Amino acid sequence: MAKKTIMLVCSAGMSTSLLVTKMQKAAENKGMDAEIFACSSSEADQNLESKPVDVLLLGPQVRFMKGDFEKRLAPKGIPLDVINMSDYGMMNGENVLQQAESLME
């Protein structure tokens, strides 16, 4: 399987860093080659220009930005969704990874 790049966006990029670690562990356990990283909403455009992102997940605290991101990602064909609030709260890396994978299918 080709390497997949999963970008998580939250307000400051801090709270999602723990989730990134858990998602990377889940990806390793599945034998999935993935680059998973988090950034703040203000850094999102810069990352979208510099990296080949396969899927973008928004933290629940920035769900209000979904419409704005949809407009920016549509021309690039990058799928996006809001991370399930309970999976985010429980830092369930496996479920969030699965959510990202289902969007890439």
Active site (catalytic) residues: 10
Angle in degrees, CA 5, 40, 31, rounded to 5: 25
Q: Is residue 94 classed as helix, strand or coil in its secondary structure? A: helix
Q: Find the farthest-apart pair of alpha carbons in the chain and give their distance in angstroms, rounded.
A: 34
| Axis crossing angle, helix 93-104 with helix 15-30, rounded to the nearest 10 | 70
Hey, what are 64's tokens?
Answer: 């209000």
